[in-house]
Amino acid sequence: MFELLFVTAIALLITIGTSNSRAGERDQSRSYYDRNGGFAGSSIDHGKDASFYDRDGRFSGSAIRNSDGTTSFYDKSGHFTGSSTDTTQRK
């Protein structure tokens, strides 16, 4: 489950970047699919943070983009599970 959350969060970060979100991107929902094309879950981007849901619509965790370019990940109980650093090159 954590692997799906982590992969989903990374995909979200790559898709929208870690810089400030534009107002039009807030509360944007995305669907994710596994390698066989089956629905794997979804996320809702709230600007600086995102919520993740499993294939049954149950909350599975969140990610928060920090001002120092890192992203912190939390499980469904709110416990810190890890972090990542933005490695995308600025234009």
| Mean pLDDT, residues 27-49 | 89
User: Does residue 65 form part of some domain?
Assistant: yes
- The token duo for 19 is 């810089």
- The token duo for 68 is 């120092």
Query: Mean pLDDT in the chain?
Result: 80
CB crowding 13-38: b at 16 or more within 10 Å, else e:
beebebeebeeeeeebebebeeeeee
pLDDT at 11 over 70: no
What is the per-residue pLDDT for 5?
A: 64
Enclosing domain of residue 75? 1-18+41-91
User: Does residue 24 form part of some domain?
Assistant: no
User: Does residue 28 form part of some domain?
Assistant: no
User: Does residue 45 form part of some domain?
Assistant: yes
86 bridge partner residues: none
Q: How many domains does the chain have?
A: 1
What is the per-residue pLDDT for 63?
A: 92
pTM over 0.75: no
